[in-house]
């Protein structure tokens, strides 16, 4: 059964949604960017419904200043109190839940890595963690590099270049960006997020969309030992039925690894 819950947070109110079920492991979904709790194309609402139908309770919320919640939107780096309040409200509304899996995409993944411990979360599934903000209207260098690697192997690209079908100014700007790429992802945020992820050790799994710019930037930066699962898609939000099914399977695996019965079978090896 789905119901709305009002969550107090530092004098403001977070509006949350609980899809209740009988399971002892619950999933706390954190929205990325300025997305409301239903997610892109209602993807997180549909994921919650499917998980709950299979016995897993799911809690979603709008952080302060986003969607139905009151207050000022201070971005994901200011959202620790929201995450802590949401996790506490989840446990209070569903007292049979004894373990929490945190799932978030983009900067929500980064927020979970940084603040999930303070919220008492037991395991993380982080999709396309956000580690750097672009400085202009071009994609990040890691994304440009990945795209060029594919396109330059395609004979059609060279034909388009010879026929004038490629914007040479944009090409030059991309090459300039690549020439400066060595230090681009070495910022404080990237270091903080990657270090935080490693602090979760075997209790975290990274889910990357191979064709997504945000996922590519993270892959270029991260050198830790966390398990990485790669999905062959360019959809940042895992839109479409096939991507949604793969995402659901990854969440269910995280749930199984958190449950007492299944934890012993989970591996931290990369894929």
Between 188 and 21, the more confident residue is: 21
Q: Which is more confident, 270 or 48?
A: 48
Mean local confidence (pLDDT), 18-28: 97
Residues of the chain with CATH 3.40.50.1820: 2-132+186-265
Q: Residue range 146-173: average pLDDT? A: 64
pTM for the whole structure:
0.79
Burial 236-266 (b: 16+ CB within 10 A, else e): bbbbeeebbebbbebbbebbebbbeeeeeeb
Average pLDDT score over residue span 8-36? 97
31-35, 57-61, 176-180: segment of lowest average pLDDT? 176-180
Mean predicted confidence (pLDDT) in 213-237: 94
How far is residue 228 from each of residues 61, 128, 187, 193, 223, measured CA to CA in Å?
A: 26, 10, 22, 15, 11
More confident residue, 264 or 18: 18
As assigned by CATH, the class of the 2-132+186-265 domain is alpha beta
- Tell me phi and psi for residue 264, to 5 degrees: -70, -20
260's CB contacts (< 8 A; 6+ apart) are none
Mean pLDDT of the chain: 86
* 201 token code pair: 């050790």
Rounded average pLDDT over 223-230: 95
At residue 264, the pLDDT reads 44
Average pLDDT over residues 146-170: 64
HSE (side-chain half, CA atoms, 13 Å) at 100:
27
């Amino acid at each position: 059964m789905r119901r709305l819950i009002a969550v107090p947070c530092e004098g403001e109110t977070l509006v949350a949604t609980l899809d209740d079920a009988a399971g002892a492991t619950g999933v706390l979904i954190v929205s990325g960017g300025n997305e409301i709790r239903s997610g892109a194309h209602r993807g997180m609402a549909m994921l919650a419904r499917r998980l709950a139908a299979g016995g897993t309770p799911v809690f979603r919320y709008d952080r302060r200043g986003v969607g139905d919640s009151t207050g000022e939107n201070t971005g994901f780096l200011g959202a620790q109190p929201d995450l802590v309040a949401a996790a506490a409200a989840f446990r209070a509304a569903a007292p049979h839940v004894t373990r929490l899996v945190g799932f978030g995409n983009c900067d929500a993944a980064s927020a979970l890595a940084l603040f999930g411990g303070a919220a008492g979360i037991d395991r993380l599934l982080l999709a396309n963690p956000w580690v750097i903000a672009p400085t202009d209207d071009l994609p990040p260098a890691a994304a440009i590099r990945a795209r060029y690697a594919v396109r330059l192997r395609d004979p059609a690209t060279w034909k388009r270049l010879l026929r004038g079908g490629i914007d040479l100014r944009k090409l030059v700007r991309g090459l300039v960006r690549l020439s400066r790429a060595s230090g681009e992802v070495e910022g404080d945020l990237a270091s903080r997020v990657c270090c935080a992820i490693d602090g979760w050790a075997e209790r975290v799994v990274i889910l990357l969309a191979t064709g997504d710019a945000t996922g590519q930037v993270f892959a270029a930066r991260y050198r830790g030992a966390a398990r990485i699962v790669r999905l062959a898609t360019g959809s940042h939000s895992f839109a479409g039925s096939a991507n949604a099914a793969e995402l659901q399977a990854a969440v269910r695996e995280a749930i199984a690894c958190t449950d007492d019965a299944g934890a012993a079978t989970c591996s931290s090896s990369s894929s």
